[in-house]
């Protein structure tokens, strides 16, 4: 069982927006602004999409945005495109030099 | 261009020790203050952080694996390594090495450089 809870699946049509949630506790997501999001296509290594809750690394489209409220973080993908279909994982610093991941969400572009 | 490459046996017997090495090119482990990490992914499952190390050998480990994990660094070879003892079938996974986005502060910025991953199967 993963430390952070994500919905197993999410979907949306091209051009729409979809939001993926990542629920933790007051010891991890709620305590630190060190939430990251990764995109992973089949057979590939994960790619960092969001760090420190809402910052985008260079090269990541601004269609990807992150936020946090209380013990839950969210990743929103706007203007869905076919290439956004992938697995998405959140991670958070959990204190005591520990890092935890979510179980992952499979995003389907209909 | 930074590159990370995992290497090691693809098959390990139960109860033995899994040993992997990550070779870094395009950056110097000894001159940067990143916490280089190991992450694994069992087939069809999610990601799990295993442990991280910096150039001076400061290590942090996943609490559930801490008793079996050792991460070390060899700055002369620009490599860092993973050892996982007493393996079982549950340790079968793709193992990735990675470098974080932000230097100096553990787990702050996520991992933005990853190796291609190496599948390690635990089986007799």
Mean of pLDDT values over B85-104: 96
- Contact (CB<8Å) A34/B108: yes
Q: What is the structure's pLDDT at B108? A: 86
Mean of pLDDT values over B14-31: 95
Mean of pLDDT values over B69-98: 97
Alpha carbons B60 and B87: distance in angstroms, whole number:
20
Mean of pLDDT values over B66-83: 97
Tokens 């993908």: give the residue. A77
Produce one character per residue of B98-115: b if its CB has 16 or more CB atoms within 10 Å, e if not: bbbbbeeebbbbbbbbbb
Q: Half-sphere exposure of residue B4, counting CA atoms within 13 Å on the CB side?
A: 26
Alpha carbons A53 and A74: distance in angstroms, whole number:
8
Alpha carbons A99 and B72: distance in angstroms, whole number:
18
Q: What is the structure's pLDDT at A96? A: 92
Tell me whether A57 touches chain B (CB under 8 Å): yes
- Contact (CB<8Å) A45/B116: yes
Say if strands B18-25 and B3-7 run parallel, antiparallel, or are unpaired.
Answer: antiparallel
Contact between residue B116 and residue B5 where contact means Cβ atoms under 8 Å apart: yes
Instruction: Say whether B31 sits in a helix, a strand or coil.
Output: helix
Return the residue of B nearest to A49 by Cα. B112
Contact between residue A67 and residue A74 where contact means Cβ atoms under 8 Å apart: yes
Query: Which residues in A lie closer than 8 A to residue B39 (C-beta atoms)?
Result: 46
Query: Which residues in B lie closer than 8 A to residue A51 (C-beta atoms)?
Result: 101-102, 108-110, 112
- Contact (CB<8Å) B46/A34: no
Q: What is the structure's pLDDT at A1? A: 62
Q: How confident is the model at residue A27 (pLDDT cuts 50, 70, 90)?
A: very high
Q: What is the structure's pLDDT at B107? A: 85
Q: How confident is the model at residue A2 (pLDDT cuts 50, 70, 90)?
A: low
What mean pLDDT is reported for chain B? 96
The answer, yes or no, to whether residue B93 has pLDDT greater than 70, is yes
- Contact (CB<8Å) B47/A38: yes
Q: What is the 3-state secondary structure (H, E, C) of B77-115?
A: CCEEEEEECCCCHHHCEEEEEEEECCCCCCCCCCEEEEC
The answer, yes or no, to whether residue B76 has pLDDT greater than 70, is yes
Q: What is the structure's pLDDT at B31? A: 84
Alpha carbons A54 and B52: distance in angstroms, whole number:
24
Q: What is the structure's pLDDT at B63? A: 96
């Amino acid at each position: 069982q993963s430390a952070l809870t994500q919905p197993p699946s999410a979907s949306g049509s091209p051009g729409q927006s979809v939001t993926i949630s990542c629920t933790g506790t007051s010891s991890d997501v709620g305590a630190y602004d060190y939430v990251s999001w990764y995109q992973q296509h089949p057979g590939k290594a994960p790619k960092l999409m969001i760090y420190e809750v809402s910052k985008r690394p260079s090269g990541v489209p601004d269609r990807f945005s992150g936020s946090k409220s209380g013990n839950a973080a969210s990743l929103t993908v706007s203007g869905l495109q076919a290439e956004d279909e992938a697995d998405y994982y959140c991670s958070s610093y959990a204190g005591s030099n520990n890092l935890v991941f979510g179980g992952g969400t499979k995003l389907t572009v209909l | 261009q930074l590159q990370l490459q995992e290497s090691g046996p693809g098959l390990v017997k139960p109860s033995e020790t899994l040993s992997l090495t990550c070779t870094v090119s395009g950056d110097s482990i000894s001159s940067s203050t990143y916490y280089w990490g190991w992450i694994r992914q069992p087939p069809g499952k999610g990601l799990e952080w295993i442990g991280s190390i910096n150039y001076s050998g400061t290590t942090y480990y996943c609490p559930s694996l801490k008793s079996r994990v050792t991460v070390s660094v060899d700055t002369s070879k620009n490599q860092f390594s993973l050892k996982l003892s007493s393996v079982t079938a549950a340790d079968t996974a793709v193992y990735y090495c990675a470098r974080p986005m932000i230097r100096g502060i553990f787990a702050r910025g996520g991992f933005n450089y990853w190796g291609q991953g190496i599948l390690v199967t635990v089986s007799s």
